[in-house]
Amino acid sequence: MATYNKRGYKTPKEKEVKEVVTEDQQVIIDEKDSTTAGVFSKLDETASKTEDWVAKNQKIIIGLVAGIAVATIGYLAYQKFIEAPKQDEAANEMFVAQQNFQKATEGVASDSLYKLALNGSEGKFGFVKIADEYSGTDAGNLANYYAGMAYLNTGKFDEAIKYLGDFKSEDLILSALAKGGIGDAYSQKNKQKEALDYYVKAAESNKNDFTTPRFLLKAGKTALALGQKEDALKYFTDIKDNYDATPEAASVDALIGLAQ
């Protein structure tokens, strides 16, 4: 059904809603604006001071950056063009010396082969020259170990102590063997206290079934010779308790009896 508005009727207008901002609210807004403006003002001031400092010290900054860049480039160039070729050259030089050393350990004309390994042959350097010429390289460091062992096996005990002492390695087996070799050299020089110190260091440097019982046994025997029965008993008992499956454990019961 149709409906009609009465003549003269007007649709009432929506009431206008005026947002009234109280005086307190106005104060809060003004304070926020003021705080924000202050923060940006301080930031601008700090940035300005930083720019001034950079401008004043520009030459120093450029110099420092350039110095770091030069040092980095120099290090990388050294590694690529000097260090790497030197490592390869040293390894190539050492090949023949290593062969002579290996043959010497097999017992065939060992003294003469150890000397060839030390002094060089077939136009190649021996371990002594390699350790000197290529010091700072891995091959030069390894040459110290070989030279020390070769000297030990040819009765040059002072030289053995020197070269084995110069050998540094993260390989725990070789590190233990080097310390034990120094102990052997001191033992041959009849310096048993020094020998005992190095045998203990060798035994304790890396716990394993190969080097540890070997040097514990030597430490125990040396301690017995020095009259240090309590220490000797400790080393022998360590073998019996912890390394009973090794060859060193086969005779340890008798040694324990001597130490008690």
What residue segments make up the domains of the chain, in order of their start? 191-260
Q: What is the pLDDT of residue 169?
A: 87
Q: How confident is the model at residue 4 (pLDDT cuts 50, 70, 90)?
A: very low
Choose among 97, 201, 95, 198: nearest CA to 150: 97
Q: What is the pLDDT of residue 68?
A: 52
CA distance 203 to 210: 10
33/223: higher pLDDT: 223
Mean pLDDT score across all residues of the chain: 78
pLDDT in tens, 105-160: 887 678 899 999 999 888 889 999 999 988 888 888 989 999 999 999 999 999 99
List, in sequence order, every residue forming a beta bridge with 121; answer none if it has no partner: 124
CA distance 258 to 11: 123
Overall average pLDDT of the 73-102 stretch? 67
Q: What is the pTM of this model?
A: 0.68
CA distance 157 to 183: 10
Q: What is the pLDDT of residue 2?
A: 44
Main-chain dihedrals φ then ψ at residue 136, nearest 5 degrees: 95, -10
Q: What is the pLDDT of residue 171?
A: 85
Overall average pLDDT of the 78-91 stretch? 60
CA distance 199 to 191: 12
Q: What is the pLDDT of residue 258?
A: 92
CA distance 168 to 142: 8
How buried is residue 10: exposed, middle or buried, by Cβ count under 10 Å (0-12/13-18/19+)? exposed
CB count within 10 Å of CB 194 equals 16
- Pick among 1.10.357, 1.25.40, 2.60.40, 1.10.287: CATH of 191-260: 1.25.40
